[in-house]
Chains A and B, each alone.
Chain A
Amino acid sequence: DAGVIQSPRHEVTEMGQEVTLRCKPISGHNSLFWYRQTMMRGLELLIYFNNNVPIDDSGMPEDRFSAKMPNASFSTLKIQPSEPRDSAVYFCASSLKGDEQYFGPGTRLTVT
């Protein structure tokens, strides 16, 4: 298996633009997580899904952030409009219930 796949690996955009980050979990995994990593705040859980259903989105910073999981093999994290303080590395992780979480390589987002 290729592991968790994230795209793009790097994204540079201007303030106000819409940004969409994509994640393909490991086949067969039924939980998917979105995390954000910054120097100041460390690694924060934004939202997670079990069986494509959002379970806890209390970590989503504000209404500009939204996440979807239309099927078991794909999820998106969207920021609209983006702001410079959204600059961070965004990780997607997946797991099979009761097992460890496998992280993707991350998307480094820079908002200018």
Chain B
Amino acid sequence: GEDVEQSLFLSVREGDSSVINCTYTDSSSTYLYWYKQEPGAGLQLLTYIFSNMDMKQDQRLTVLLNKKDKHLSLRIADTQTGDSAIYFCAQGSGGGADGLTFGKGTHLIIQP
């Protein structure tokens, strides 16, 4: 079945880069997503990448996709305290029209 794996915690110092990694199993996934969840809130889409792309950059965010290894990463440059949240990797096949399979989420902890 489909599975998405992430490490549960990542601790970085303010101002450093954060790299959150994810592996997935469904090679037919068309879209791969990064969602952010702040305490007490729902998930918010940060960015997504089509499976035919290797990289996508959006301001401080860089997404890298290694389709051969089924590995996805999210890099946050110049990490700020406001970036403290849980980051979910998700795979899906139909854009927003089908249900997504989420990883368990990575808690990003920012040290001053």
Interface residues of A, Cβ cutoff 8 Å to B: 4, 31, 33, 35, 41-45, 48, 50, 55-56, 59, 91, 93, 95-106
Task: Indicate which residue in A33, A42, A97 contacts B103 across the interface (CB closer than 8 Å).
Answer: A42
Q: Which positions 83-112 of chain B face chain A at CB distance < 8 Å? A: 88, 94-105
Number of interface residues of B (CB under 8 A): 22
Task: Indicate which residue in A35, A44, A59, A95 contacts B97 across the interface (CB closer than 8 Å).
Answer: A95
A43 CA / B41 CA spacing, docked (Å): 14
B7 at interface, CB cutoff 8 A? no
Task: Indicate which residue in A97, A100, A104 contacts B42 across the interface (CB closer than 8 Å).
Answer: A104
8 tightest Cβ-Cβ pairs between the two chains A and B:
A95-B96, A103-B42, A42-B104, A45-B99, A98-B95, A43-B102, A97-B97, A99-B96
Contact between A45 and B100, CB atoms less than 8 A apart:
yes
Q: Which residue of B lies closest to A108 (CB)?
A: B40
Interface residues of B, Cβ cutoff 8 Å to A: 33, 35, 40-45, 48, 88, 94-105
User: A97 CB to closest chain B CB, in angstroms?
Assistant: 4
User: Dominant SS at the A interface?
Assistant: strand
> Chain B residues with Cβ under 8 A from A59's Cβ?
99
Contact between A45 and B101, CB atoms less than 8 A apart:
yes
A4 CA / B33 CA spacing, docked (Å): 20
Q: Which residue of B lies closest to A58 (CB)?
A: B99
Contact between B88 and A105, CB atoms less than 8 A apart:
no
> Chain A residues with Cβ under 8 A from B99's Cβ?
33, 45, 48, 56, 59
User: B29 CB to closest chain A CB, in angstroms?
Assistant: 14
A103 CA / B43 CA spacing, docked (Å): 6
A93 CA / B43 CA spacing, docked (Å): 9
A-B contact pairs, 28 of them (CB 8 A): A31-B96, A33-B99, A35-B102, A42-B102, A42-B104, A43-B88, A43-B102, A44-B102, A45-B99, A45-B100, A48-B99, A50-B97, A55-B98, A59-B99, A93-B43, A96-B96, A97-B94, A97-B95, A97-B96, A98-B96, A99-B95, A99-B96, A100-B45, A100-B48, A101-B96, A101-B100, A105-B40, A106-B42
> Chain A residues with Cβ under 8 A from B103's Cβ?
42
